[in-house]
Amino acid sequence: MATIRDVADLAGVSVATVSRSLQQPERVSPKTRSRVISAIEQTGYQPNQMAVKFRSGKTHSLVVLVPTVANLFFARVISGMQEAAAQRGYTLLLGNTLGNPQIEAEYARMVQTAQADGVIQLRAFNPFVTDPSSGSGLLPMVNACEVLETSLCPTVTLDNRQAAATMTRHLLEHGHQRIALIKGPQASPLTQERLAGYQDALKQANIEFDPALLFDGDFTLHAGYEAARQILAHPQRPSAVFCENDETAIGAMQAIKEAGLKIPEDISIAGFDDISFAAFCDPPLTTIAQPAEEFGQTAVNLLVDVLTGKISKAPKVIMPFELIIRHSTGPAPGAAHLNQAM
Amino acid sequence: MATIRDVADLAGVSVATVSRSLQQPERVSPKTRSRVISAIEQTGYQPNQMAVKFRSGKTHSLVVLVPTVANLFFARVISGMQEAAAQRGYTLLLGNTLGNPQIEAEYARMVQTAQADGVIQLRAFNPFVTDPSSGSGLLPMVNACEVLETSLCPTVTLDNRQAAATMTRHLLEHGHQRIALIKGPQASPLTQERLAGYQDALKQANIEFDPALLFDGDFTLHAGYEAARQILAHPQRPSAVFCENDETAIGAMQAIKEAGLKIPEDISIAGFDDISFAAFCDPPLTTIAQPAEEFGQTAVNLLVDVLTGKISKAPKVIMPFELIIRHSTGPAPGAAHLNQAM
DNA sequence: TATAAATATGTAACCGTTTGCATTAATGCT
DNA sequence: AGCATTAATGCAAACGGTTACATATTTATA
């Protein structure tokens, strides 16, 4: 590869002039600049980015900590991030952490080793806000999608509690009294927030919360399937199942249909996320839509803003959600009159 | 951040000794080494990776050109890549190219600008094998999943033609005579190879190929849905539909069920890829399973091998596929006897 | 036209490592 | 003990840019 020195020699100027022709064109005379430009073209010179990054101390890279890329919701978020990052001249380093704090820590260390300028975390567990080895104590980081209330860094999220309550209310309005909830991973704040919203709506409707209607999941198809089988075996079968994400709901639908029950006539199913498959199941899934791409865009914009000193506070941005009513939810069996009343 | 100089000063040695203590421990005496180690611990020293990469000329990063991360098959491939890359000390830079050659070129340029050591391409269109600006002419690159027969670089793929023929044969064996094919994107070699396999099987069964049974798609749910609607409107409705990927198949199933037809009683559906949702549709989808994670692993191992000079040739590795028979395919209407005969 | 101000360019230090070569210390051999 | 050999360490250059500062050149001002 041609270096800046080759260009300088060919153009008959110093390396400083070549550098300036690129960085601050107004500081070099038009004629020499054009000589430099043509020398650049002739040599095919392209600045060695490692040298640039090393010298400037800025990598223009961001580490993204994602539990798994094999999740359609995260995939959309990442797409949004890529777009925004490209626009602002940043590169994304994807860290598939599998939710493993050790792997997370390893990736986050890339900031300390000058391989990245900042970190975006798509899950809430954040041991990196305080860096034990440095006095400063803060790592440039933003939290997206899943956030702890106590998070000290900028966050972009959605009111999961409100959203879950909205969906639960939708089911209650259809006369469902016993609504099962298939939760996400135990450790996730999402799981807790959505559970809280579910409880809020129940309380508001004066329906007693029954812990026996709570089922464990982990946001996968398989977990949804298994949980639904347990639900079907319940002595007093619920008339509706609210799943904390769409994969879970689609897995649950499978188990329910296998058992010979009809959705939503026998049992209603609701999801969360509105992944592409939600509109293409049988029946199409009622769910909560999240602006996934915008999550990603907002997250990188926020991070780049803190990196460039444009913002100093730690804003919390709340994205909107939308209840998408399709055909997997309907009136509770024997409660058609209630539906009419709506 | 502490630098190597700080460590050297604290340990009372030269920077060279510190560097050697880490790079070639056997070249420094045990006592000084331990002094260095403790100095490293005291200072919390971590080598500045930008300096290392700059100095060594090796970035230990690989660019992955992926049309879209929002595709479950690619997501699995990427997971496999991450795993192998981490194992071999490499970092992945993900380039969401949207299939845009210009964006691809931009990402591929990262090798020339020393931001990455090599490129992995998940689609076949490869304008980068020849680098016009350098005499050498070759960019360290491997092709995965989708490959051109003429590809000059190492490739890892699957015999798509064979696989498609296998699936088509499966349908033929169930007595289907008119089998529609919903294709992938026009430009993709995958599309053509799978089409060729479909034709091979037809020919072998002495069934005349009917171009009217070919439908355009683009590997999305929506395209599958639309194509299926066209298929249903066909004057002589086919009794089976072979979709070039699972998303297409799932989209098609939706349209077919909406039309009030039963799968597989009225019409059989087959997919390709075996994404997680394939087992969770209604009915579960018959498809071709590909070892996606292994694709990714093999691709990065191949690339790292060429980068480290372990291989000089350009091997073509063919991964195995498997026909997964679920319940979306069955005997053609009025051909139960044929099924018996199997 | 002399002088100040502004503009253009060059010189060289610097970023944090790695590594070839020189130097010094330790060990082995006769 | 004296010399050759090997091991341990230090010195300083190099990687390819950027940029503060110095210098040279042009333009403006009186």
A186-204 tens-digit pLDDT: 988 999 999 999 999 999 9
The predicted pLDDT at position A339 comes to 43
Distances (CA, A) of A167 to A158, A204, A252, B211: 14, 13, 17, 47
B137, pLDDT greater than 80: no
**Residue B227 near residue B234, CB atoms below 8 Å:** no
A145 domain-assigned? yes
Distances (CA, A) of A324 to A240, A281, B251: 16, 14, 19
Measured between alpha carbons, how far is A202 from A326 in angstroms, rounded to an integer? 22
Provide mean pLDDT across the span B183-199: 95
CATH of residue A28: 1.10.260.40
Q: Supply the DSSP symbol for B324.
A: E
Confidence band, pLDDT 50/70/90 cuts, at residue B69: confident
On whether both A211 and A243 belong to a single domain, the answer is yes
Based on the fold, state whether residues B140 and B166 are members of the same structural domain. Answer: no
Does the pLDDT of residue A310 top 70, yes or no? yes
Residues A25 and A89 in one domain: no
Is A281 in Cβ contact with B281 (below 8 Å)? yes
Average pLDDT in the B249-262 region?
97
Distances (CA, A) of A315 to A154, A200, A318: 5, 26, 10
Residue range of the domain that includes B88: 58-153+292-320
Nearest to A112 among B46, B92, B94 (CB): B46
Nearest beta carbon to residue A280 from set B51, B68, B250: B250
Give the percent of chain B with pLDDT over 90.
81
Q: For residue B52, tell me if it sits in a domain.
A: no
CB B115 within 8 A of CB B58: no
Residues B186 and B329 in one domain: yes
- C-beta of residue B116 within 8 angstroms of C-beta of residue B139: no
Contact B281 A279 (CB under 8 A): no
Residue A335 is predicted with a pLDDT of 63
Binned at pLDDT 50, 70 and 90, residue B335 comes out as: low
Closest chain A residue to B51, measured at CA: A54
Residue range A6-20: average pLDDT? 96
- As a whole number of angstroms, the distance between CA A327 and CA A325 comes to 7
Nearest by CB: B112 against A1, A91, A280: A1
Taking residues B234-248, what's their average pLDDT? Answer: 96
Query: Is there a domain that residue A52 lies in?
Result: no
* List of chain B residues whose C-beta atoms are within 8 Å of the C-beta of residue A75: 69-71, 75
CATH of the domain at B118: 3.40.50.2300
B281 and B180 co-located in one domain: yes
Which uninterrupted H or E stretch holds B155? strand B155-158
d(CA B341, CA B337): 6
pLDDT at B133 exceeding the cut of 60 = no
* Judgement on whether residues B216 and B332 belong to the same structural domain of the protein: yes
Q: Residues A248, A210: one domain?
A: yes
pLDDT at A102: 87
Question: How far apart, in whole angstroms, are the C-alpha atoms of residue A193 and residue A279?
Answer: 25
Amino acid identity at A25:
P
pLDDT at residue B341 tops 80: no
Give the pLDDT confidence of A21-73 residue by residue, as tens digits.
999 999 999 999 999 999 999 999 999 999 999 999 999 999 999 988 888 99
Question: Average pLDDT for residues B275-291, to the nearest whole number?
Answer: 97
* Per-residue confidence (pLDDT) for residue B131, from 0 to 100: 39
Establish if A53 belongs to a structural domain. no
Q: Are residues A88 and A27 in the same domain?
A: no
What kind and span of H or E run contains B158? strand B155-158
- Average pLDDT in the B97-117 region? 91
Say if residue B106's pLDDT is above 60: yes
Average pLDDT score over residue span B50-72: 94
* Domain-embedded: residue B42: yes
pLDDT above 90 for A327: yes
The CA-based dihedral angle spanning residues B193, B198, B200, B203, taken in that order and rounded to the nearest 10 degrees: -150
CA dist A294 and A84 (Å) reads: 9
Residue-wise pLDDT tens digits, A281-301: 999 999 999 999 999 999 999
CB contact under 8 Å between A82 and B96, yes or no, is: yes
Task: Please state the domain count of chain B.
Answer: 3
Distance in angstroms: CA A3, C1' C10: 18
Q: What is the mean pLDDT of residues A243-252?
A: 98
- Map residue B74 onto helix, strand or coil: helix
Interval B126-132 mean pLDDT: 46
Beta carbons within 8 Å of B9's beta carbon, 6+ residues apart:
none
Both tokens assigned to A98: 């599998």
Contact flag B75-A78 (C-beta cutoff 8 Å): no
pLDDT at A147 over 90: no
Give residue A152's pLDDT band: very low, low, confident or very high (50, 70, 90).
confident
Backbone CA torsion sign across A331, A332, A333, A339: negative
Does B229 have pLDDT greater than 70?
Answer: yes
Res. B128: pLDDT tops 80: no
Q: What is the pLDDT of residue A126?
A: 56
Would you call B46 helix, strand, or coil by DSSP?
A: coil
Looking at the predicted structure, is the pLDDT value of residue A99 above 80?
yes
Q: What percent of chain A has pLDDT over 90?
A: 81
| SS3 track for chain A | CCCHHHHHHHHCCCHHHHHHHHHCHHHCCHHHHHHHHHHHHHHCCCCCHHHHHHHHCCCCEEEEEECCCCCHHHHHHHHHHHHHHHHCCCEEEEEECCCCHHHHHHHHHHHHCCCCCEEEECCCCCCCCCCCCCCCCCCCEEEECCCCCCCCCCEEEECHHHHHHHHHHHHHHCCCCCEEEECCCCCCHHHHHHHHHHHHHHHHCCCCCCHHHEECCCCCHHHHHHHHHHHHCCCCCCCEEEECCHHHHHHHHHHHHHCCCCCCCCCEEECCECCHHHHHCCCCCEEEECCHHHHHHHHHHHHHHHHCCCCCCCCEEEECCEEECCCCCCCCCCCHHHHHHC
Q: What is the radius of gyration, based on Cα positions, of chain A?
A: 26
Name the amino acid, one letter, at A209. Answer: F
Q: Protein A306 CA to nucleic acid D21 C1', in Å?
A: 32
Q: How far is the CA of B30 from the C1' of D2 (A)?
A: 29
Task: Report the distance from CA of residue B6 to the C1' of nucleotide C17 in Å, as an integer.
Answer: 13
- Cβ atoms of B230 and B201 closer than 8 Å: no
Q: Is B91 helix (H, G, I), strand (E, B) or coil?
A: strand
Chain A contact set for B277 (CB, 8 A): 221, 250, 277
Chain B residues 20 to 39 whose Cβ lies within 7 Å of strand C are 20, 22-23
Which range, A139-153, B55-69, B303-317, has the best average confidence (pLDDT)?
Answer: B55-69
Do B12 and B121 lie in a common domain?
Answer: no
Question: Rounded to the nearest 10 degrees, what angle do helices A160-173 and A189-204 cross at?
Answer: 40
Based on the fold, state whether residues B198 and B334 are members of the same structural domain.
Answer: yes
Structure tokens at A60: 């223009």
Residue A92 near residue B92 (C-beta atoms within 8 A): no
Mean pLDDT (chain A, rounded): 91
Q: How many CB atoms lie within 10 A of CB B148?
A: 15
Evaluate if residue B125 carries a pLDDT over 80.
Answer: no
Residue pair B91/B115 in contact (Cβ under 8 Å)? The answer is no
Contact residues for A320 (Cβ-Cβ < 8 A; gap 6+)? A158, A291
Position B72 in a domain: yes
Chain B residue with minimum CA distance to A223: B280
pLDDT of residue B32: 96
Q: What is the dihedral of CA B282, B287, B289, B295, to 10 degrees?
A: -100
d(CA B114, CA B116): 5
> Contacts of residue A297 in chain B, CB cutoff 8 Å?
none
Of the candidates A51, A110, A280, which has its C-beta nearest B251's C-beta?
A280
Secondary structure of residue B59 in the 3-state scheme: coil
Average pLDDT over residues A163-177: 97
Q: Tell whether A26 is covered by a domain.
A: yes
Half-sphere exposure of A137 (CA within 13 A, CB side): 3
Q: Tell whether B19 and B146 lie within a shared domain.
A: no
- Whole-angstrom distance, CA of residue A57 vs CA of residue A59: 6
Instruction: Give the pLDDT of residue A286.
Output: 98
Flag whether pLDDT at B153 surpasses 90. no
Same domain assignment for residues A185 and A282 = yes
**Amino acid type, B323:** L
Q: What is the pLDDT of residue B337?
A: 47
User: Is the pLDDT confidence value at B191 over 90?
Assistant: yes
Residues of chain A in contact with residue B53, where contact means CB-CB under 8 angstroms, are 50, 54
Q: Report the alpha-carbon distance of residue B249 to residue B280 in Å, rounded.
A: 13
A242 phi and psi angles, rounded to 5 deg:
-105, 120
A47/D26 CA-to-C1' distance in Å: 31
